[in-house]
Chain A
Amino acid sequence: MKYLDEYRDEKLFRSQLARLKSIATRPWVLMEVCGGQTHTLVRYGIDELLPAGMEMVHGPGCPVCVTPVEIIDKAIALAGRPNTILVSYGDMMRVPGSESDLLQVKALGGDVRMVYSPTESVRIALENPNREVVFFGVGFETTAPANAMVAWQARRQGIKNLSLLSSHVLVPPAVEMLLSSPHNRVQGLIAPGHVCTIMGTGAYETLAAKYKVPIVIGGFEPVDLMEAIVMLAAQLEEGRSEMENQYRRNVREDGNRRARELLFEVYEVCDRKWRGLGEVAASGLRLSAEYREFDAELRFGLEDISVDEPAECISAMILQGLAKPKQCSAFGTRCTPESPLGAPMVSSEGTCAAYYLYRRHSGEMGEDLCVAGEAV
């Protein structure tokens, strides 16, 4: 086994689909939380194969999408500073700020560097001792420990010219906000497998019990997702609402304790503004007092930058699963991956980008797929 190709096997996928069709009797509405899962569902057209009436709505699990514009503007301000190197993931380069994006700053001479791993920013800082190096990292619980390593290594090695601009968010508080909303339509949740690889399963067990909603921790390949859907349908048909773990090969009950210890040494929980959802209590991470000297916002006095979201983008509805991309008048016309109005179109994990890339626009896929809430 290579733990990848096996889970893309068509025969196994179809046998799971047949199981689903044999057990599902009602039009259940399910949500996959993670943007990576959305991407697989749309790429393989899995949501179109479900029994009639069953619907997948797409959740808020795209970190780039939920990063507020003001954080992007702070990164852009840093990238334009003299004698500064801004280091970040490729995903962040084209996210529109209020007036520009990081690639445009780079084109105008700013030193913006794309990296595969945050650890590269430590090397860049050591190689450029006379310049300020800022690592711009966003992400959920999966990515936060890797980003935390930047501050941990900087502190351990006494690197003074390295700091972090970070915007980390935690999944459970946002899921809780969605489930407790009066507009909620979601009857079953596929929880984000890689977040649970770090954090373990406890938070989702609590949510399943509190909101009486079945939650299945799911993987990211087509067979994983179809099995998770089967498990949710079985629970719903039997009237159960439990936390189950489909992604057992990578998720243990206790997660990765070492990663979590590092995470909570470097960061502490704080309230956090989500793009599209607004402020969510105790849903973010900021550098702890011990590591605050590495906070780029404090080091460079950026705390006061504050921006309103662009009005035309309906990302708030998209991220809560209340609307689908085709319900946006700008989708595929004024808003495309080349010229995005909002983050769900620019991020590779964004719902709008997935629909656009895999031909879910201008009627190419035939029937209208959109069945969403009345709020639109």
Chain B
Amino acid sequence: MCLSVPGKLLERNDVGGVLVGKVQFGGIVREVCLDLLPEAKAGEYLLVHVGYAISLVDEEEARKSYEYMELAGMLEGELTAFPDDGPALVVEASPPRDDFAPRGPRGESQ
């Protein structure tokens, strides 16, 4: 019920006193009410919940945390490459899995 999806604001219009934005989600464009987020500008990414934009996606924070995770991942990779450094630095290998991709509902394959 709290499902919210990020999308890119393409344009904004005043429709009878209601701020309405056209927001692109992948290949789909939908109308979204901007009354809870009137500061949103075209070109920005918004988080949309039940037809309402509720938050601006902070692109700087997203980039920083993503880069941090990538860096941390690279460091882990370097540590695993030198297991002779001692047990404290050894990272246990992940169990092999072919199915990290989401499982489809019963009876379907994705």
Contact = CB atoms under 8 A, between A and B. Distances in A.
Interface of A: 1-4, 6, 10-19, 21-22, 34-36, 43-45, 49, 51, 61-64, 89, 91, 116-120, 138-140, 142-143, 145-146, 149, 192, 194-195, 197-198, 220, 222-223, 227, 246, 248-252, 256, 258-259, 262, 347, 349, 356-359
B58 A117 contact: no
B98 to A, nearest CB: 11
Interface size of B as a range: 35 or more
Given A3-B57, A35-B1, A194 B36 contact: no
Contacts of A349: 1, 3
Interface in B17-64: 26, 33, 35-38, 45, 47, 49-52, 54-55, 57-59, 61-63
Contact of B33 (A51, A149, A222): A149
Contact of A119 (B33, B58, B80, B92): B33
B69 A223 contact: yes
Interface of B: 1-6, 26, 33, 35-38, 45, 47, 49-52, 54-55, 57-59, 61-63, 65-66, 69-70, 72-74, 76-77, 79-80, 91-92, 94-95, 97, 99-103, 105-106
B100 A149 contact: no
A177 B36 CA distance: 31
Given A1-B63, A17-B94, A19-B72, A142 B2 contact: yes
Nearest to A246: B65
A77 B58 CA distance: 44
B4 A142 contact: yes
B50 A356 contact: no
Contact of B36 (A43, A252, A262): A262
A45 to B, nearest CB: 7
